[in-house]
Amino acid sequence: MSVFDTLNYNNYAFRVYITWGGLLLIKLLFMAFLTSFQRIRKGAVENPEDVGVRSNMEIKKDEDVERVRRAHLNDLENIPAFLFAALMYIMADPHPIAAAWLIRIAVLARIGHTIVYAIYPIRQPARGICFFITLGITVFMIIWSMVIFFEI
């Protein structure tokens, strides 16, 4: 059986991966709109050509805009790695219920990370807990996959 046989609609874990991975990608794309919303709300732009768009716009740094932007960058650094690791994990044909819950928990932790970092900032360790949950799951999936496919 090929590892690609696990990537089909009949595989429950793969369906969960597609569904929850899709939600995570939508969340990632949503961050650009959240950044734009904060820029408009705060009247803060970075490019001179954007100054004339609204009367209250000016080139300036705003902490709320920067917070959302940093959360977006964090997503761009971590979500692709998680999605690739989860795909490798699915191809290793894990127990479907375990795979489903690991994926769900990681996605919910990433959503929680955005909430406590960019939308409704909460003091640490809330953001760190959300970050390390997803990081731990990602590393576990990578190691599991490497062990299953280990070949020298």
- The predicted-structure confidence for 94-108, as pLDDT tens digits, reads as follows 999 999 999 999 999
> Sorting pLDDT into bands at 50, 70 and 90, what band is 1?
low
- Whole-prediction pTM value? 0.90
Q: Give phi and psi for 123, each to the nearest 5.
A: -60, 155
| pLDDT tens digit sequence for 51-106 | 766 667 778 888 999 999 999 999 999 999 999 999 999 999 999 999 999 999 99
- Check if the beta carbon of residue 94 is closer than 8 Å to that of residue 144: yes
**Where exactly are the structural domains of the chain?**
3-30+65-149
Q: Which class is 3-30+65-149 in CATH?
A: mainly alpha
Q: b/e string for 87-122 if b means 16 or more Cβ within 10 A? A: bbbbbbbbebeebbebbeebbbbbbbbbbbbbeeee
- Check if the beta carbon of residue 75 is closer than 8 Å to that of residue 28: yes
